[in-house]
A and B are shown apart, each in its own frame.
Chain A
Amino acid sequence: MIKIHDLSFQVKDRFLLKYINLEINKGELIAIVGPNGAGKSTFLSCVANEIQYKTKHFLFKDKDVKSYKRSEIPLHRAKFSQHQSNEINLKNEEIVLMGRYPYFKTEADLSDLEIVEKWMAKTETSHLTDREYEQLSGGEKQRLHLARVFAQLENNIENKLLLLDEPLNNLDVAHQFKTLHLIKEFTNQNNSALVVLHDLNIASQFADRLILMNKSSIEMFDEPKKVLTQERISRVYQYPCIITPHPENQQPIILFG
């Protein structure tokens, strides 16, 4: 799905990312975790080609990522950004419809509108249609943009990639889990997702593999059980912790303090 070899990103002479190597398979849900300033969002921006990085090679579906046409790549890859614009003077369903912009010229097809409706229902935002965007709460706005991003990747292409930068911010517990289930549902269809998460326990429950970042590079990239050890987490986060298995699924649970 993705093969990255020696990726670096620097601003002036300070490295924000150093020699990142990564291989992600199709159908994987990968969580990126790590302390503040470790380079999680920067790394995701690199994978999304939002910033200019240096790399030996970066293959996306066995093709150089730069060889994709501008109009073609939105059908394969979508990104949910951490900060959503606050001033969008549009109806909420028109915002979700933007996810379908790569699919139609000027007039949306009926199928586009159906997809918008479907994802608004799935993200529980259907009831927001008659409210103004600017009056919505942070979590509601967030779910609306999630619907937009999911609507963007609704097509027949196989092995799509979804990039999400802290999608759970502002969401209440129930919506956090519902959102993760949506992401899981997406990756179960042979798609991949790369998700920046703050909550180690949620990452541990849902992710197939974890990227633990620390000081601009990848500390470890493996299954949650292997990455989340008491010694490593305490060292990386510089705070003591205890690790115990989840009573139901045996995944590691981290208790700080």
Chain B
Amino acid sequence: MKKKVAVYKVSFFIVLLVALVTALYLGAYDFNHSVFEIVSTYFNTNTHTADSFVLIELRIPRILMAILTGAALAISGTSLQGLFKNPLASPDLIGITSGAVLFAALTIVFGSAVMHLLPAFFRYVLLSIMAFIGALLTMWFVYKMATSNGKTHILILLLSGVAITALTGAVTGFLTYISTEEELRNITFWSLGSLAGSNWWKVCLVFIVVLIGSIRLLSKGKILNALMLGEKEAAHLGFDIEKTKREIIIIVSLMVGCVVAFNGTIGFVGLVVPYILRFVFNSNYNILLPLSMLLGAVVMLIADTISRTIVVPAELPIGILTAIMGAPVFISILINYKRKLK
């Protein structure tokens, strides 16, 4: 078993490296020199050529953002599924993403006066904090709605997500109506999802959040497994259930909020990645958590590379690609469910 996990880890890592190198070279702009040359010239001369600008200011941050976003969304989805004991729980389906988008959009429209005064990094911090609050509030709401006596009713969970998403849709629609043109562009970008706006500041911020968040979540494998026994049984194994729940809810909100603040709604990654891994490792969260981070990064990087190369010079919104992968998985989980109901 240990060996099998190691093999999967190493192969995902290799695929990630290959995808990374490929992604460096693919894009609307073709480099005249090799990546290595461009970087070394830039550091020697300290001035940007067209090559180095595209590579260092656009492409590399975007690739890093894709990796971080994929890892964050996948491990968030896996943790939520463990917490709610259901493979359908994922940030977008239960409405957390929508909550984050709503707060981010409100911040953009009503906070534009303040935002312009702030330096870039703090603007991003403010935006992610607001998205985090939005995510946390929705998470708290759906959790309270769907859980009674330690049991989560998946139907209520998903329907709460639908309700929140509807509400967000309405408010975002209203905001679109009253917003200026620049704000409008920002809002539209969220509903579609795109990594095009990535820059080093954003990457740094997301990196810090994902690093802290994933270190905490990766240690939750045992307790998420134990929760399958039931909350009382898990408590008999020495776990603090309430504390863990709070921790997971806060961390997932933070990661999803931060990722959504910069990249908009990218659906289904948190659903698809653990779904694939469960075929091989069942629901062993000790294994699922780290592997979902790796596979999430791979999936997102490949999806983003396709999204920015398939209709060159334009871009296909990445949300379209993840939805194409995600919707069939969603349906197949539902079919499984139906079988179990019989």
Contact B85 A87 (CB under 8 A): yes
A89 part of interface (Cβ distance < 8 Å): yes
**B226 interface residue (CB < 8 Å to A):** yes
* Contacts between chains A and B (CB distance < 8 A), count: 68
Smallest CB separation, B81 vs chain A (Å): 11
Q: A50 an interface residue at 8 Å Cβ cutoff? A: yes
**Contact status A101-B229, CB under 8 Å:** no
Minimal beta-carbon separation of A80 from chain B (angstroms): 9
Is there an interface contact between B238 and A81, defined as CB atoms closer than 8 Å? no
- B236 close to A89 (CB less than 8 A): no
Roughly how many angstroms separate A131 CA and B15 CA in the complex, as a whole number? 33
Q: How far is the CB of B100 from chain A (nearest CB, A)?
A: 29
Q: Is there an interface contact between B229 and A85, defined as CB atoms closer than 8 Å?
A: yes
Binds A, one of B39-47, B132-140, B282-290: B282-290
Mark each residue of chain A from 81 to 94: 1 if its CB lies under 8 Å from any CB of chain B, else 0. 10111011111001
Q: Which residues of A contact B233 (CB under 8 A)?
A: 79, 81, 85
Interface size on A, residues (CB 8 A): 28
**At the interface, yes or no: A74 with Cβ under 8 Å from chain B?**
yes
Q: Tell me, yes or no, whether A220 is within 8 Å of chain B by CB.
A: no
- Which of B219, B222, B239 gathers the greatest number of chain A CB atoms within 10 Å? B222
Closest Cβ neighbor of A77 among chain B residues: B236
Would you call A78 an interface residue if the criterion is a C-beta within 8 Å of the partner chain's C-beta atoms?
Answer: yes
Flag if A70 contacts B229 (CB, 8 Å).
no
Contacts of B219 in A (CB 8 A): 106
Q: Are B238's CB and A73's CB within 8 A?
A: yes
| Given A87-B85, A88-B229, A91-B282, A98-B238 contact (CB < 8 Å) | no
Evaluate contact between B238 and A90: CB separation under 8 angstroms. Answer: no
Q: Are A102 and B237 in contact (CB under 8 A)?
A: yes
Q: Which of B85, B229, B240 contacts A98 (CB 8 A)?
A: B229
B169 contacts the other chain (CB 8 A):
no
Decide yes or no whether A152 CB sits under 8 A from chain B: yes
Asked if B232 lies at the interface with its beta carbon under 8 angstroms from chain A, I say yes
Question: A89 and B238: CB pair below 8 A?
Answer: no
Question: B27 at interface (Cβ–Cβ under 8 A)?
Answer: no
Which residue of chain B has its CB nearest to the CB of A79? Answer: B236
Note all chain A residues with C-beta closer than 8 A to B222. Answer: 98, 101, 106
Q: Is B216 an interface residue (CB 8 A)?
A: no
Q: Is there an interface contact between B237 and A74, defined as CB atoms closer than 8 Å? A: yes
Q: Which of B2, B225, B230, B235 sits near A94, CB closer than 8 Å?
A: B225
Say which residue of A70, A87, A98, A106 sits within 8 Å of B226 (CB atoms).
A98
CB contacts (< 8 Å) of A94 on chain B: these are: 225, 282, 284
Which residues of chain B are within 8 angstroms of A107 by Cβ–Cβ distance?
A: 2
A48:B236 contact, CB within 8 angstroms: yes
CB-nearest residue of chain A to B232: A50
B204: interface (CB < 8 Å): no
Name 20 A/B residue pairs within 8 A (Cβ), A-sorted: A70-B239, A74-B238, A79-B236, A85-B228, A85-B230, A87-B228, A88-B229, A88-B283, A90-B228, A90-B282, A90-B283, A95-B229, A98-B222, A98-B226, A98-B229, A98-B237, A101-B222, A101-B237, A101-B239, A106-B221
Known: A74-B236, A101-B238, A101-B239. 7 other contacts (CB 8 A): A70-B239, A73-B238, A79-B236, A81-B233, A88-B229, A89-B278, A89-B283
Which 8 A-B residue pairs are closest in the complex by CB-CB distance?
Answer: A89-B283, A74-B238, A88-B228, A71-B238, A102-B238, A89-B282, A101-B237, A101-B222
